[in-house]
Structure 1
Amino acid sequence: MAGRGVKAHADERAAGPPAGDGNEGSSACAECLRRGALLGRLSQRIAGLLDGGDRRPAGLLELSDDDLVKAVGGQGASRQLDRFRREFDVERARRELGRAGLDCLCRHSPCYPGGLLRLSDAPAALYVAGGRSRLSALLAEPVVTIVGGRSATPHALEVAATLGRGLSAAGVTVVSGLALGVDAAAHRGAMKGGRGAIAVLASGADVPYPSSHRTLYEAFRARAAIVSELPPGTAPMRWSFPARNRIMAALGQLTVVVEAQQASGSLITADFATQLGRDVGAVPGRVTGKWAAGSNALLRDGARVIRGPEDVLDDLLGVGELRARGRGRSSAGSRARRDEAGDRSDDLSPDLRRRREALAAAVREVSGVVELEPSVRLVLDAVEAGEGVEAIGRSARLSAGEVRAALGRLELMGLVTRDGLGAYERTSRG
């Protein structure tokens, strides 16, 4: 599922986003502020219209104010809209933004994210917590969207955190939804990586959701950015989750699905990314379980294989080639992509070479480069989540003693973990 190439983003990477100016005021025009307020006013009616179906507001958000009200407003829709227009006070809306500590960008603003303009139903108003200067700085770098299931396995959570941290350390902005599971793990990893991140909410940007993530939400307001198309104070609705997924897909040059069951909402994000011509990647998961059935299906259908941050950077910036050379080998796929792009390390300027090597070093620091003896590698390759020594030995064709010795080494290296019942699982470093 490959879209447009994005290797052109090998420009100078900022050390991090600016500290943020807090509430910088609304640059949105009156028309777009009114549209945003109308969407908030109609949110429950949209939910009533879509509940029980797909819940994606397909086509609804493209409608004009009149047609949207007619579609969801029922009897007296025109009178409702006329009353809303009479009562709407632009200056009061701006004051409410100030009280909530939010900025508001509209489609006519020079600060409005360019990626969103590719959407046929781009939000008229985008509400921002953390400051539009910080948001602009984050979007000036390569952007990767990381999504996955809320009920994620420990392995998926570790992979998501490693991806977030590794990409952030390499100067890539991570976008996700602040939801339970994979989203929060990716966000926490990104904050540890030092670059910052963007959270896209299905509620108003001033409404922490889920409430259990209030601490993470406050950290984002202080050091990252939060965006939403819904006005202040709006509670999340079932329709607003798939609606926000289209925003996440449009912001990212690559969408990575870490782990998703067959009906996971993260597959909606991947679908939106494909429709926009953006790249989609997925982390391979166990084929005999339900947890990765959806993400494995993406791989079957042509999504890029993502094993760690280096795979993402290889696609975005060509860093994987340098990483491979550092180990004395070069992947054929990476060479082909670089040759196709006319990109050869010998032709790089000293400045660009230093930057690419710094990115590769950041990946090595986070994910580690581990060389293993052949027998230990066989055991690692044979480990599947939840299996014991006997099953691993059958797969690796090694004795129980050899397997136990190898597993002991792999545990010390942080490549596998063991639960209280003696079952082993690979970590994201494995």
Structure 2
Amino acid sequence: MEERDGLIAMHQIQGIGWHTLHKLLKAGWSPAGELTLDLLRRLRDLRVPESTVERIRAKWTPSFVRRVKEELVRRRITALTVFDPEYPEYLKEIAQPPWVLYIRGDASLLSGICFAVVGTRKPTHYGRRMARKMASEIASRGWVVVSGMAAGVDSEAHRGALEAGGKTVAVLGTGVDVVYPRHLRRLYAELVEKGAVCSEMPPGTAPHPGLFPRRNRIISGLSVGTLVVEAAERSGALITADCSLEQGREVFAVPGPVTSEKSAGTNRLIQQGAKCVIGVQDILEEFPSLVPPSAEKSTEPSDLSPDERLLLSFIGDEPVHIDELRNQISLPPGELHRHLLSLQLKKRILQLPGARFVREG
């Protein structure tokens, strides 16, 4: 039996979490060896519950280890242990690195240059747009965008990276084979195909509120830095920012309107010393050794006519009504509508209900 196979199998026994595995190794357990009565006694001395000790004694056998290994292969789930050379180096540096990571998709992405993009589950239009824009620009530089596949900012970050043809990793608070929330099934499938999803929880683990804060330390632990796009004062995204600080990583925040509750947390982070980000260059300049020359900011040729550029200059992140545009620009109504349609087709603006327009890219 290989050491890694024994560790993975032990990790999948009900009730065996990070601390119990730590106590097993502290008691002298070898994942490639046998369970002895003396070892089980030492576990009791370390205050491992009797029910857990009995479960270990009954469950952990060579045949069980073999079944766990075969099942992972059958389901195309990669398992990386902290003993493996492929285990992400950045993640090894945190206080409690996962003993086992389960991955569907490209496991090598976890060892790339990763950068976390997180935020509220209920963002404003501004938050959604900024999450997608920032993630797209980060991914286009060759970095891997890491987030939590939650509704809102997280899912927008993953989509932004994928739309840019880049790579992205989702860290789940469930088993790696459990899609949560369910309405993100299509995004999950695309992440498995073009990126990766990972979790420290054994396959089949259902969502539970207590699991999500713990996964945040993995999001930040994989990453050289964390960008919080939009978050209220008590947003879970701020837990990821705290984890990033505790791990000695950089924290960034996108500013928002002072009147917006959804930006109260990010604005507070900036007050407390997080770097204010208004463009991807604000992030890249903090990591000069990680930015290849090809990733330097370039000027994109404009495909807009002079009238379209003028019209676009009056449309920003806040919705503007078509009547306001008419007052600002001296264009016949037909011309105005034609240019607005052209800007939408070029994905520069987005029309909202009520004849209002905002920037899209």
Pick the TM interval, shorter chain: 0.7 to 0.9
Structure 2: how far apart are the matches of 1:28 and 1:173? 30
Q: Give, as a single letter, the amino acid of the residue that structure 1 aligns with 2:192.
A: R
Higher helix share: 1
Instruction: With the length of structure 1 as denominator, give the TM-score of the two structures.
Output: 0.66
Shift of 1:135: 2.3
Aligned partner of residue 119 in structure 1, secondary structure:
coil
The 5-angstrom pairing of residues 278-289 of structure 1 reads 278-289=249-260
1:402 paired to 2:338: no
Structure 1: how far apart are the matches of 2:312 and 2:163? 30
Q: Which residue of 2 aligns with 1:142?
A: 113
User: Is this contact kept in 2: 1:286–1:384, CA < 8 A?
Assistant: no
1:171 paired to 2:114: no
User: Is this contact kept in 2: 1:246–1:273, CA < 8 A?
Assistant: yes
1:105 paired to 2:38: no
Structure 2 stretches lacking a partner, 5+ long: 27-46
Q: 2:102 aligns with which of 118, 127, 137?
A: 127
Structure 2: how far apart are the matches of 1:295 and 1:412? 34
Q: 1:205 aligns with which of 176, 185, 190?
A: 176
Percent sequence identity is 30
Structure 2: how far apart are the matches of 1:189 and 1:240? 26
Aligned partner of residue 173 in structure 2, secondary structure:
coil
Q: Which residue of 2 aligns with 1:42?
A: 15
1:22-42 deviation per Cα after TM superposition (whole angstroms, max 9, x unaligned): xxxx9861452145214xx23
Aligned-residue CA RMSD in angstroms? 3.9
Aligned partner of residue 234 in structure 1, secondary structure:
coil
Considering Cα pairs closer than 8 Å and 6+ residues apart, tell me whether 1 or 2 has the greater RCO. 1
Structure 1: how far apart are the matches of 2:255 and 2:75? 41
Structure 2: how far apart are the matches of 1:385 and 1:410? 16
Q: Which residue of 2 aligns with 1:190?
A: 161
Aligned partner of residue 138 in structure 2, secondary structure:
helix
1:259-296 deviation per Cα after TM superposition (whole angstroms, max 9, x unaligned): 11122111111110011110111111111011111111
Q: 1:81 aligns with which of 24, 43, 53?
A: 53
Shift of 1:231: 1.0
Alpha carbons of structure 1 residues 379 and 79: separation in structure 2 relative to 1, 3 Å: closer
Instruction: With the length of structure 2 as denominator, give the TM-score of the two structures.
Output: 0.77
Q: Which residue of 2 aligns with 1:155?
A: 126
Q: Which residue of 1 aligns with 2:201?
A: 230
Structure 1: how far apart are the matches of 2:245 and 2:302? 28
Q: Which residue of 2 aligns with 1:94?
A: 69
Alpha carbons of structure 1 residues 158 and 411: separation in structure 2 relative to 1, 3 Å: farther
Q: Which residue of 1 aligns with 2:42?
A: none
Q: Which residue of 1 aligns with 2:43?
A: none
Structure 2: how far apart are the matches of 1:254 and 1:404? 46
User: Is this contact kept in 2: 1:62–1:121, CA < 8 A?
Assistant: no
The 5-angstrom pairing of residues 9-48 of structure 1 reads 29-38=4-13, 41-42=14-15
1:311 paired to 2:247: no
Q: 2:190 aligns with which of 183, 205, 219?
A: 219
Aligned partner of residue 15 in structure 2, secondary structure:
helix
Alpha carbons of structure 1 residues 35 and 215: separation in structure 2 relative to 1, 3 Å: same
Structure 1 stretches lacking a partner, 5+ long: 1-25, 47-58, 68-74, 320-351, 394-399
